Amino acid sequence: MKEAQATGPAGDDPVSAGHGPTWASPEFGAIYEEHSRQIFYLALRFLGDPAQAEDATHDVFLKAYRKLGEFRGDSAMRTWLYRIAINHCKNLRQTWYQRNMVSNADDSIWESAVSRTETPLRVLEIKELGERIQKTLDALPEEYRLLLLLVADEQLSYEEMAALTGQSSDAIRGKLHRARKSFVLQFQKPA
């Protein structure tokens, strides 16, 4: 799969020339600058498609802008954006699955999976890391994939992850343990 790229060769248009956008709301521009990487990464690895991830990130920030009046500041801005992103990406996946009638793998496979989680994950070539991670995540149940992507963001606490996924912190801890095991098992499979 083609990985997301930063920029193309410099040209006359402001994007390829490397100029930043002019924001109608500079405050919102600052929010975009601070959080777009994590939101894009979540969408990219959750959906597994760079073009879809780009569209999803655009839609997430547009929705966020429209709903800014509803943001009460009870949670961190990052958590609020994640909530919008998770709902949006889940809806996209659901629509895609309904259209393509693809059934998920039996989750019980992962529940009973035994792996050596203490073994370090070894990678020879960092440039191939993205593709290998995507293959690994694609093979996991959706819930595990989401939990791993959220826990990778060091800004999020277990309590915030619990709130985002509608579960208790204890449930999150248990599921994360199984998600890590499943990831390691899948990652170590020969290509």
Contacts with another protein by CB under 8 A lie at 3-7, 14-16, 18, 20-25, 27-29, 32-33, 36-38, 40-41, 44-45, 50, 54, 57-58, 61-62, 65-69, 71-73, 120-126, 129-130, 133, 148-149, 151-154, 179-180, 183-184, 187
Assign residue 101 a region: left if phi > 0, alpha if psi is -120 to 50, beta otherwise?
A: left
CB of 169 to another protein, least distance (A): 17
CB of 124 to another protein, least distance (A): 5
CB of 87 to another protein, least distance (A): 18
CB of 89 to another protein, least distance (A): 16
Q: Which residues contact 107 (CB under 8 A, 6 or more apart)?
A: 141
Of residues 72 and 99, the one with the C-beta less far from another protein: 72
Interior CA angle at 52 toward 29 and 95, to 5°?
Answer: 120
Of residues 35 and 163, the one with the C-beta less far from another protein: 35
Position 82, amino acid? Y
Q: Is 117 in a helix, a strand, or coil?
A: coil
The answer to whether residues 44 and 58 touch, using CB atoms and an 8 Å cutoff, is no
